[in-house]
């Protein structure tokens, strides 16, 4: 047996913390702190991943691979590892979780123990999605993320929580079931469920399928991922789930869960089905651009702050999809960075909404106005995060969106119209976000109940400060983050393009 890799350690830490918490914690305080410490330790361990990461290598690193089920005709493995594509998403997960847990300290008052059990389970499952390299393992984590989120929305959500929880579960499960069949088909043909092995067999020609089959398989995977992203028109579960979920639930949903979809496209669809990726790229990009414009348009019409932020996610994730299906290094790298950026900015926005909701128990924009005067610290932080979400140069959002547009403009599969409409999306984002900021924070403090709102308490402050820091760090030092992706993304793009070229040569 191989040595236990650092990736396994990071993956299993939340589970270990969960077990310790259930064994030794007795009071509500103890549960809270046990969960927070666990997530912080996990974050610390994941920083070691960055330190040990070899930026010159393109393939998987810190791999851990053990046979799990062996049969005559196939093998299923516990197979984990990180590469330039998944590294920052693992970090995003471990970064967001302590903040989400800290932000839950005050709002979550009943069934505390159960709540933190589900939070840690959630972290474990999401990390698993990003590190799993075996399709069986991946599918397990992919589906398991539904369970804790179902409970988080259903138990601690707002009024319509049951409807939202069940819709979330069924909608996302519907997508993954066809993926399950595609996975089984691939596994049957290849005799293994490990993605690197399947790719090797594809490359050597040992495994081959027809163009039509490749396209069907692409679609089966794509539906699962497109629902998770969510891409227009498969987005209707998202506003319900986001709005009804408790603050931490929304943060996790927007911050990490949606990235599982975009990540899936990069990790599975592009390398496994290069021909289909190329064929479908313009169609995917059309949906992405519709999502960008539609999400922004609908955001502008919202009266509820949380809904506005929820719809803005559709718009932002549209950018990520546009970048990925530009099928060039700039587009994909921008897409990956934008996944991280969106996690940080939108996670931050949901935390901000949660702060207001805690104080006033309403999320209607019309209930606020002039908050800056009552809560200056809070409003200052809010301004930075709103600007970051808008894509102001110098902050993180700009780097991602700019790189994506650069990628789509230089793409050989997409026309310049996509870049044009994408740029319009950025302008629309500025409109709805500034309109929201104006309504809530600016103007006269004319509502009596808003005049004496307390500013941030320490939990709220410390859940927002790390986000603030990252907004500037990524905004000013994006090169550092790109450097880690270079090798893997370049290899992926070369592979996708090379495959199509060699197929055309035959």
Partner 1 sequence: MSGVPSLSDLNLAATLPVSFLALYACLLMIVDLFVPRTRKHITAGLTMLGLGIALVLALLPLAGAARFGDGERAFGGMYIADSFSDGVNVIVLITALLGVMVAYNYLDRIQRQRGEYYSLLLFTTLGVMMMGAAGDLVVVFVALELLSIPLYILSGFRRPQEASEESALKYFILGAFASGFLVYGIALIYGATGVTDFEGIWAAVEEIVAEDASSKYLLLVGAGLLLVGLGFKVAAVPFHMWTPDVYQGAPTSVVAYMSVAAKVGGFAALVRVLGSGMVNFALDGGLVAAWQDTVWLIAALTMILGNFVAIVQSDLKRLLAYSSIAHAGYMLIGVAAAGSAPVADEAARAVIMYLMAYAFTNVGAFAVVIAVERDDASNTGLESMRGLAVKQPLLAASMAIFMFSLTGIPLTAGFIGKWFVFKAAIAADLIPVAVVGVLTSLISAFYYLRIVWYMYFESGESEAHVPVPLAWAISIAAVGTLLLGIFPYLLSDMTHKITLAFGP
Per CB under 8 A, 168 contacts partner 1? no
Per CB under 8 A, 71 contacts partner 1? yes
β 75-82/61-70 pair status: antiparallel
Binding test (CB under 8 A) with partner 1, winner from 187, 318, 348, 391 = 187
> Could you tell me which residues are beta bridge partners of residue 304?
364
Binding test (CB under 8 A) with partner 1, winner from 17, 154, 271, 422 = 154
182 or 433, CB closer to partner 1? 182
CB of 351 to partner 1, least distance (A): 25
22 or 473, CB closer to partner 1? 22
Per CB under 8 A, 170 contacts partner 1? yes
3 or 72, CB closer to partner 1? 72
The C-alpha atoms of residue 7 and residue 11 are separated, in whole angstroms, by 6
Q: Cα–Cα distances in Å, from 185 out to 190, 221, 223, 278, 436? A: 9, 12, 16, 22, 48
Binding test (CB under 8 A) with partner 1, winner from 15, 37, 45, 173 = 173
Per CB under 8 A, 207 contacts partner 1? no
The C-alpha atoms of residue 236 and residue 258 are separated, in whole angstroms, by 13
Binding test (CB under 8 A) with partner 1, winner from 47, 50, 147, 434 = 147
Per CB under 8 A, 473 contacts partner 1? no
Binding test (CB under 8 A) with partner 1, winner from 72, 159, 446, 448 = 72
Buried/exposed code over 174-185 (b: 16+ C-beta within 10 A; e: otherwise): ebbebbbebbee
Per CB under 8 A, 19 contacts partner 1? no
Per CB under 8 A, 166 contacts partner 1? yes
Treating both helix axes as pointing N-terminal to C-terminal, what angle do 237-244 and 146-156 enclose, rounded to 10 degrees? 60
CB of 242 to partner 1, least distance (A): 18
22 or 41, CB closer to partner 1? 22
Residues that bind partner 1 (rule: CB under 8 A) add up to a total of: 36
Binding test (CB under 8 A) with partner 1, winner from 162, 377, 383, 427 = 162
The C-alpha atoms of residue 360 and residue 440 are separated, in whole angstroms, by 13
223 or 289, CB closer to partner 1? 223
For residues 218 and 157, the answer to whether their CB atoms sit within 8 Å is no
Long-range contacts (CB closer than 8 Å, 24 or more residues apart) made by 190-194 = 191/73, 191/74, 191/75, 192/74, 192/75, 192/77, 193/74, 193/75, 193/76, 193/77, 193/134, 193/135, 193/136, 193/137, 194/65, 194/75, 194/77, 194/79, 194/133, 194/134, 194/135
CB of 76 to partner 1, least distance (A): 8
Per CB under 8 A, 434 contacts partner 1? no
143 or 304, CB closer to partner 1? 143
Longest dimension (CA), the chain: 75
The tally of CA atoms less than 13 A away on the side-chain side of residue 233 is 0
Q: Which stretch binds partner 1 (CB under 8 A): 185-193, 207-215, 249-257, 323-331?
A: 185-193
Q: Which stretch binds partner 1 (CB under 8 A): 81-89, 159-167, 285-293, 354-362?
A: 159-167
Per CB under 8 A, 482 contacts partner 1? no
DSSP secondary structure string for all residues of 345-358 = HHHHHHHHHHHHHH
For residues 254 and 342, the answer to whether their CB atoms sit within 8 Å is yes
Per CB under 8 A, 143 contacts partner 1? yes
Per CB under 8 A, 151 contacts partner 1? yes
Binding test (CB under 8 A) with partner 1, winner from 4, 57, 66, 69 = 69
Binding test (CB under 8 A) with partner 1, winner from 16, 37, 45, 68 = 68
**Secondary element (H or E) of residue 61:** strand 61-70
* Chain residues 77-116 in contact with partner 1, contact rule CB under 8 A: 111
**Phi, psi for 342 (deg, rounded to 5):** -65, -40
DSSP secondary structure string for all residues of 63-118 = EEEEEEEE-SS-EEEEEEEE-TTTHHHHHHHHHHHHHHHHHHTTT--SSHHHHHHH
241 to 280: interface string for partner 1, x by CB under 8 A = ----------------------------------------
Binding test (CB under 8 A) with partner 1, winner from 105, 115, 116, 139 = 139
Enumerate residues 6+ apart whose C-beta is below 8 A from 170. Answer: none
The C-alpha atoms of residue 363 and residue 108 are separated, in whole angstroms, by 18
Both structure tokens of 177: 């079931």
141 or 368, CB closer to partner 1? 141
Per CB under 8 A, 140 contacts partner 1? yes
Per CB under 8 A, 209 contacts partner 1? no
Per CB under 8 A, 180 contacts partner 1? yes
Please give the residue ranges that form the binding site for partner 1 (CB under 8 A): 68-73, 76, 111, 136, 139-141, 143-144, 146-147, 150-151, 154-155, 161-162, 165-166, 169-170, 173-174, 177-178, 180-181, 184-185, 187-188
């Amino acid at each position: 047996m191989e040595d236990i890799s650092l990736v396994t350690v990071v993956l299993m830490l939340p589970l270990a913390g969960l077990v310790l918490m259930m064994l030794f914690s007795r009071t509500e305080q103890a549960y809270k702190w046990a969960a927070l410490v666990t997530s912080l330790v996990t974050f610390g361990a994941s920083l070691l991943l960055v330190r040990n990461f070899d930026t010159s290598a393109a393939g998987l690193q810190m791999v851990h691979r053990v046979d799990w089920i062996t049969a005559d005709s196939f093998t299923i493995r516990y197979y984990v590892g990180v590469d330039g594509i998944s590294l920052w998403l693992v970090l995003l997960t471990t970064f967001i979780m302590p903040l989400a847990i800290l932000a839950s300290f005050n709002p979550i008052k009943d069934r505390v123990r159960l709540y933190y059990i589900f939070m840690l389970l959630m972290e474990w499952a999401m990390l698993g999605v990003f590190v799993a390299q075996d399709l069986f393992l991946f599918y397990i984590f992919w589906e398991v993320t539904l369970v804790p989120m179902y409970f988080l929305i259903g138990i601690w959500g707002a009024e319509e929580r049951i409807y939202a929880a069940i819709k979330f579960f069924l909608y996302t499960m519907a997508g993954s079931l066809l993926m399950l069949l595609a996975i089984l088909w691939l596994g049957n043909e290849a005799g293994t469920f490990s993605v690197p092995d399947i790719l090797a067999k594809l490359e050597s020609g040992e495994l081959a399928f027809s163009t039509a089959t490749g396209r069907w398989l692409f679609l089966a995977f794509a539906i699962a991922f497109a629902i998770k992203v969510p891409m227009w028109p498969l987005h209707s579960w998202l506003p319900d789930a986001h709005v009804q979920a408790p603050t931490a639930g929304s943060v996790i949903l927007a911050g990490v869960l949606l990235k599982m979809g975009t990540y899936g496209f990069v990790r599975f669809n592009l390398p496994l089905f290069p021909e289909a990726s190329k064929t479908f790229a313009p169609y995917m990009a059309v949906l992405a651009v519709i999502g960008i414009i539609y999400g922004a348009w609908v955001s502008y019409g919202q009266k509820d702050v949380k809904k506005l932020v929820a719809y803005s996610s559709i718009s932002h994730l549209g950018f990520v999809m546009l970048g990925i299906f530009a099928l060039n290094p700039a587009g994909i790298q921008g897409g990956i960075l934008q996944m991280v950026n969106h996690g940080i900015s939108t996670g931050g926005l949901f935390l901000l909404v949660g702060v207001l909701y805690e104080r006033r128990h309403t999320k209607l924009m019309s209930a606020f106005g002039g908050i800056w005067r009552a809560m200056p610290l809070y409003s200052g932080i809010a301004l930075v995060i709103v600007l970051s979400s808008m894509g102001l140069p110098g902050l993180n959002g700009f780097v991602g969106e700019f790189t994506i547009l650069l990628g789509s403009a230089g793409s050989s599969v997409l026309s310049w119209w996509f870049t044009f409409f994408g740029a319009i999306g950025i302008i629309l984002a500025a409109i709805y976000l500034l309109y929201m900021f104006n309504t809530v924070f600016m103007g006269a403090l004319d509502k009596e109940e808003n005049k004496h709102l307390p500013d941030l308490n320490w939990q709220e402050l410390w859940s927002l400060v790390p986000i603030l820091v990252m907004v500037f760090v990524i905004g000013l030092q994006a090169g550092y983050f790109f450097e880690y992706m270079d090798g893997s993304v370049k290899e992926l793009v070369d592979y996708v393009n090379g495959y199509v070229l060699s197929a055309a040569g035959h």
